[in-house]
Amino acid sequence: MSGKPRLTYLNGRGRMEPVRWLLAAAGVEFEEIFLETRQQYEKLIKDGVLMFQQVPLVEIDGMKMVQTRAILSYIAGKYNLYGKDLKERALIDMYVEGITDLMQMILMFPFSPPEAKEKNIDSIKERATNRYFPVFEKVLKQHGQDFLVGNKFSWADVQLIEAILAVEEKIPAVLSGFPQLQAFKTRMSNMPTIKKFLQPGSPRKPPPDEIYVETVLKIFKK
């Protein structure tokens, strides 16, 4: 396949949203195919397109890529967002893995029963403010640079700004004790490619609603 990368997923955030973020941050336009029925999903499996019978699916450079982490690391490497050497790449990997752990809680939140939502919000706040955000606050304060790794914009920065905004949607004052992260948020949000992605009408998806949850369950739950 030539031309723009093509993304196949639901019309919602889920596991594809970090891919959208990374491509957008790299200034890469992409096309999207939205799954709306279980039949569409089953056809992908039948056609042998999904290696592990899972989406996201990203068609790029003649490949049909699955597994979010593999997709993201390929895009980061292709668009020079993966550090200058193995040590920087290892740092980026560690930061990304930590952020992914936090984002997993955000990802699962819409599927929690109503009676558990308040408790889950408290858990997200506790993890964000005590385990994850302090790490990045300390990194930015210690090296005094604009970016997390090598004073150069990278995949780790993209993941972090995505996570900050996602947590803020649920806990608006979550950065109140993190001045470095507040400044980081402002810097990242004003980068031209990210600023464009944050505008209405961009491919960025809204927070999951009941319709999205119902669609996920309809397509994937047997």
User: Is residue 155 domain-shared with residue 214, that is, in the same domain?
Assistant: no
Q: Is the pLDDT of residue 109 over 70?
A: yes
Q: How confident is the model at residue 142 (pLDDT cuts 50, 70, 90)?
A: very high
At 88-106, the pLDDT tens digits run 999 999 999 999 999 999 9
Q: How confident is the model at residue 4 (pLDDT cuts 50, 70, 90)?
A: very high
Percent of the chain scored above 70 by pLDDT? 99
What average pLDDT does this structure show over 194-218?
95
User: Is residue 93 domain-shared with residue 182, that is, in the same domain?
Assistant: yes
Between CA 10 and CA 12 the distance in angstroms is: 5
What average pLDDT does this structure show over 183-202?
97
Indicate the residue type of 196. K
Distinct helix (H) and strand (E) counts, the chain: 10, 4
User: Is residue 152 domain-shared with residue 205, that is, in the same domain?
Assistant: no
User: Is residue 151 domain-shared with residue 203, that is, in the same domain?
Assistant: no
Q: How far is CA 23 from CA 29, 35, 41, 77, 186, in A?
A: 7, 20, 24, 12, 20
Indicate the residue type of 214. E
Q: Alpha helices, DSSP H only, in 66-132?
A: 68-78, 86-108, 117-127
Between CA 137 and CA 152 the distance in angstroms is: 17
For residue 80, report the phi and psi dihedrals to the nearest 5 degrees. Answer: 60, 40
> What per-residue confidence (pLDDT) applies to 222?
64
> What per-residue confidence (pLDDT) applies to 1?
42
User: Is residue 67 domain-shared with residue 111, that is, in the same domain?
Assistant: no
User: Is residue 143 domain-shared with residue 91, that is, in the same domain?
Assistant: yes
Burial 45-82 (b: 16+ CB within 10 A, else e): eeeeebeeeebbbbbbeeebbbebeebbbbbbeeeebb
For residue 209, count other CB atoms closer than 10 A to its CB. 10
Q: How confident is the model at residue 221 (pLDDT cuts 50, 70, 90)?
A: confident
At 19-64, the pLDDT tens digits run 999 999 999 999 999 999 999 999 999 999 999 999 999 999 999 9
3-state secondary structure of 65: strand
For residue 1, count other CB atoms closer than 10 A to its CB. 11
Residue 134 lies inside a defined structural domain of this protein = yes
What average pLDDT does this structure show over 83-90?
96
Residue 110 lies inside a defined structural domain of this protein = yes
Residue 12 lies inside a defined structural domain of this protein = yes
Residue 1 lies inside a defined structural domain of this protein = no
Number of independent structural domains in the chain: 2
**Inter-residue long-range contacts of 136-143, CB under 8 Å, 24+ positions, other chains counted:** 136/95, 136/160, 136/180, 136/181, 136/184, 137/178, 137/179, 137/180, 137/181, 140/180, 140/181, 140/183, 140/184, 141/180
Whole domain around residue 116: which residue ranges?
86-190
Percent of the chain scored above 90 by pLDDT? 94
User: Is residue 99 domain-shared with residue 177, that is, in the same domain?
Assistant: yes
Between CA 44 and CA 51 the distance in angstroms is: 10
Mean pLDDT score of the chain, rounded to an integer? Answer: 95
What average pLDDT does this structure show over 126-141?
96
What average pLDDT does this structure show over 149-167?
97
Q: What is the pTM of this model?
A: 0.95
- 8 Å CB contact between 169 and 103: no
